[in-house]
Amino acid sequence: MAATSPASSPTLPHAGAFLAADVGGTHVRIGRVRAGADARHPVDVLDYRKYRCADYPSLAAIVGDFLRDNPGVQDCVIASAGYPLADGTVITNNLPWVLSPRAIREELGLAQVYLVNDFEAVAHAAAYVDASEVVQLTGPAQAPRGPTLVLGPGTGLGAAVWIPNDGFPVVLATEAGQAALASNTELEMQLVREMLRHRSHVPVEHAISGPGLLNLYNALCAVRGVPALHATPDAITAAAQAGGDPLAHQALDVFCGLLGSVVGDMALLYGVQGGIYLAGGILPKIRQFLIDSSFVQRFLDKGSMREALERIPVKLVDHGQLGVVGAASWYLGQKAKAA
């Protein structure tokens, strides 16, 4: 169906192999993985595929499809946004079906199915991102070891903080995307007021995400009193980057400016010193637009805290398997703690 996978060799048994899945609102990325021998690359990805959520009735159906070509795996770790309930199900705004690790384990006959917050998983992987896979947006090349923020807009907005300590690092999973959106410019205030006509609370991810970009564009069209020409975030970004569509360009520019402000706020709120990694599905697609936008200016525009923010490296991560590697890294860390 909608699975995509690079060419791979026939499946062979691998000792210690397990499944790691990164579950987003639009796609599920899943890999058969094992512990790597190199400390700089602690996870080996043996097989990797991407599925469209809308093409499957459940996450179990996706995992089951992957398992048909990868039999013999007993454990699975799932990285997903959402809030886990006592019965094992997960509250999430962005998935087309209920997420229940217990139901997946029982339906597929797996030994264990673990759940970790999606950006908590990405935070576990951030330390292993090669220099060739990042673009420096601002700040020094290196920073002292300290709290590190990982954040990214996709179907929603995810964020987590990686905190070093003497033993295993601690990762603080957040629901930062549900915090209230703060506006700085007169235009942003107009757009927030327009969005408040339809809801009582405008969270950050209602503007800074794929659907959020569409919300900004529609609000901008309403404020300007003109009909909307685009119906998807991809259409807006394409039009903005192609030129000739001032409203699409302005909507994406507002998106980048708000992102800069939000990232700066989070850096101060969480005491970030070790760096900021921007991930998610949108930003790599608009890399040059983001570089040319007001993102850095807005990130640094925090009054007397500007000097502190200038010391923090901000990097754009372009790594399609980051969520899978992060989920696997979390799983291996839990096993190591239990040993």
Q: CA separation (Å) from 272 to 163, 212, 304?
A: 9, 25, 16
Rg for the chain (alpha carbons), in Å? 20
Predicted pLDDT of residue 173: 83
Predicted pLDDT of residue 107: 94
Contact 276, 269 (CB under 8 A): no
Q: Is 141 exposed, middle or buried (0-12, 13-18, 19+ CB in 10 A)?
A: exposed
Show the tokens assigned to 3: 């699975």
Strand pairing report for 112-117 and 90-91: unpaired
Contact 102, 90 (CB under 8 A): no
Contact 108, 183 (CB under 8 A): no
Higher pLDDT, 288 or 80: 288
Q: Is it the case that residue 25 has pLDDT exceeding 90? A: no
Show the tokens assigned to 278: 């921007």
Say how far apart CA 294 and CA 123 lie, in whole Å: 26
Report the range of poorest mean pLDDT among 91-95, 186-190, 266-270: 91-95
Strands (E), 101-253: 112-117, 134-138, 148-153, 157-163, 170-173
* Total residues belonging to the chain: 339
Q: Is it the case that residue 2 has pLDDT exceeding 60? A: no
| CA torsion, ordered 270, 80, 322, 259, to nearest 10 deg | -50
Buried b (16+ CB within 10 A) or exposed e, 77-94: bbbbbbebeeeebbebeb
Predicted pLDDT of residue 97: 82
Instruction: Give the single-character DSSP code of 94.
Output: S
| CA torsion, ordered 270, 274, 275, 278, to nearest 10 deg | -70
Predicted pLDDT of residue 127: 66
Segment 130-172, tens digit of pLDDT: 666 789 999 998 888 899 999 989 888 989 898 988 767 888 8
pLDDT bin (cut points 50, 70, 90) of residue 221 is very high
Helix then strand then coil, % of the chain, to nearest 5: 40, 25, 35
Angle at which helix 233-242 crosses helix 246-269, to 10 degrees, equals: 110
Mean pLDDT for the chain overall: 88
Q: Is it the case that residue 128 has pLDDT exceeding 60? A: yes
Segment 199-213, tens digit of pLDDT: 999 999 999 999 999
Predicted pLDDT of residue 334: 85
pLDDT bin (cut points 50, 70, 90) of residue 4 is very low
Higher pLDDT, 89 or 238: 238
Predicted pLDDT of residue 132: 65
Q: What percent of the chain has pLDDT over 70?
A: 92
pLDDT bin (cut points 50, 70, 90) of residue 126 is confident
pLDDT bin (cut points 50, 70, 90) of residue 5 is very low
pLDDT bin (cut points 50, 70, 90) of residue 319 is low
Mean pLDDT of 22-46: 86
Mean pLDDT of 81-87: 72
Higher pLDDT, 339 or 218: 218
Residues whose CB is less than 8 angstroms from the CB of residue 198 and which lie 6 or more positions away in sequence, other chains included: none
**Cα-Cα end-to-end distance for the chain:** 40
Contact 152, 280 (CB under 8 A): yes
Higher pLDDT, 259 or 279: 259
Say how far apart CA 30 and CA 64 lie, in whole Å: 11
Predicted pLDDT of residue 134: 86
Q: Is it the case that residue 8 has pLDDT exceeding 50? A: no
φ/ψ of 126, rounded to 5, equals: -60, -35
Segment 266-315, tens digit of pLDDT: 999 999 999 999 987 789 899 999 999 999 999 999 999 999 999 999 99
pLDDT bin (cut points 50, 70, 90) of residue 117 is confident
Mean pLDDT of 165-185: 87
51 SS3 class: strand
User: Which one, of 23, 2, 26, 59, lies nearest residue 282 by Cα?
Assistant: 26
